Amino acid sequence: MLGASPVAWAQETPPPTEPRPERLYLNPGALLGSARMVAMGGAYVGIAEGAAGLPSNLASLAHRGPALEKDWDLGFTLSWLDLPFTGTRKRDVDNDGRPDESQDSRQLLGGLLLQYKRFGIGFAMRNSVVSYCATAACAGPSERIRVSLTQSVLAGAMSFGQDEFILALGIYSAQASFRLDSGGTDLRYGDTGVAVDILYRPQGRPWRMGVSVRPEVVGDWRREAGQVPELAGRTLFGAVVSPAVLSVGASWRFGDGAERYNRLSPAARRHLLVEGDALPVPPRTPWTRPPGGGSSAPRWTSSPAWTTRCPRAPSRPRPTRPSWARAPPSRRASAWSTTRCRA
| Model pLDDT, residue 330 | 37
**pTM exceeding 0.85:** no
Query: Does residue 75 lie in a domain region?
Result: yes
Query: Does residue 1 lie in a domain region?
Result: no
The answer to whether 260 and 291 have CB atoms below 8 angstroms apart is yes
Query: At a CB cut-off of 8 Å and minimum separation 6, what does 8 contact?
Result: none
- What is the rounded distance in angstroms from the CA atom of residue 119 to the CA atom of residue 49? 15
Q: Coil, strand or helix: which one is 63?
A: coil
The answer to whether 111 and 123 have CB atoms below 8 angstroms apart is yes
**How far from 249 is each of 48, 63, 122, 268, 286, CA to CA, in Å?**
10, 16, 21, 25, 30
**Residue 12, phi then psi, degrees to nearest 5:** -85, -40
| Model pLDDT, residue 87 | 62
Closest CA to 193 of 220, 212, 174: 174
Same-domain pairing of 170 and 60: yes
Which pLDDT tens digit goes with each residue over 299-335? 332 223 333 334 444 444 444 443 333 434 433 333 3
User: Cα torsion for 216, 217, 220, 225, to the nearest 10°?
Assistant: 180
Three-class SS of 20-55: EEEEEECCCCCCCCCHHHHHHHHHHHHCCCCHHHCC
Q: For residue 21, give the amino acid letter.
A: P
Same-domain pairing of 154 and 224: yes
Structural domain count of the chain: 2
The answer to whether 198 and 166 have CB atoms below 8 angstroms apart is yes
- What is the rounded distance in angstroms from the CA atom of residue 290 to the CA atom of residue 285? 10
Same-domain pairing of 209 and 325: no
The one-character DSSP state at 296 is P
Query: Does residue 120 lie in a domain region?
Result: yes
Same-domain pairing of 49 and 147: yes
- What is the rounded distance in angstroms from the CA atom of residue 315 to the CA atom of residue 186? 93
Same-domain pairing of 312 and 172: no
The answer to whether 144 and 181 have CB atoms below 8 angstroms apart is yes
Query: Does residue 98 lie in a domain region?
Result: yes
Same-domain pairing of 184 and 115: yes
Residues of the chain with pLDDT under 70: 1-12, 28, 83-90, 94-95, 276-278, 285-343
- What is the rounded distance in angstroms from the CA atom of residue 266 to the CA atom of residue 282? 11
Query: Does residue 13 lie in a domain region?
Result: yes
| Model pLDDT, residue 293 | 43
Same-domain pairing of 217 and 341: no
**Residue numbers of the domain that contains 334:** 299-343
Which pLDDT tens digit goes with each residue over 106-125? 889 999 999 999 999 999 99
Query: Does residue 262 lie in a domain region?
Result: yes
Same-domain pairing of 232 and 308: no
Query: Does residue 275 lie in a domain region?
Result: no
E strand or H helix at 215: none
Query: Does residue 196 lie in a domain region?
Result: yes
Same-domain pairing of 98 and 178: yes
Same-domain pairing of 51 and 131: yes
Same-domain pairing of 87 and 145: yes
